[in-house]
Amino acid sequence: MKIVMAIIKPFKLEEVRDALTAIGVHGLTVTEVKGYGRQKGHTEIYRGAEYAVSFLPKIKIEVAVASEQVDKTIDAITSAAKTGQIGDGKIFVINLDHAVRIRTGEADAAAL
């Protein structure tokens, strides 16, 4: 099992969710985050005060999938979240040791 963690542009969330649903991934966790990569921030001016805003709002999604589904998941996220511009985000894949569904007690693959 793996956790697929992706940082994406906020307005791409719905498309990514649809793409994941289409390949049979049901359930994901979403967090509003801020960060920076190669994309530069912007400047805000309030009367005379200028602020360089270098942390941009992004969405972090986390999906737990079976190992054989990882490639399909990555493809789905990549194609849905891509605009071709700097700031599209990144995908990280992390090993997942164990999973439990709280309601039933089912474990691992059955819990996903």
**Positions that interact with another protein (CB under 8 A):** 43-51, 53
Closer CB to another protein, residue 45 or residue 86? Answer: 45
Contact 80, 12 (CB under 8 A): yes
In the complex, minimum distance from the CB of residue 44 to another protein, in angstroms, rounded to a whole number? 6
Alpha helices in the chain (DSSP H): 13-22, 70-81
Contact 66, 16 (CB under 8 A): no
In the complex, minimum distance from the CB of residue 49 to another protein, in angstroms, rounded to a whole number? 7
Closer CB to another protein, residue 49 or residue 86? Answer: 49
In the complex, minimum distance from the CB of residue 30 to another protein, in angstroms, rounded to a whole number? 17
Number of other CB atoms surrounding residue 33 within 10 Å: 13
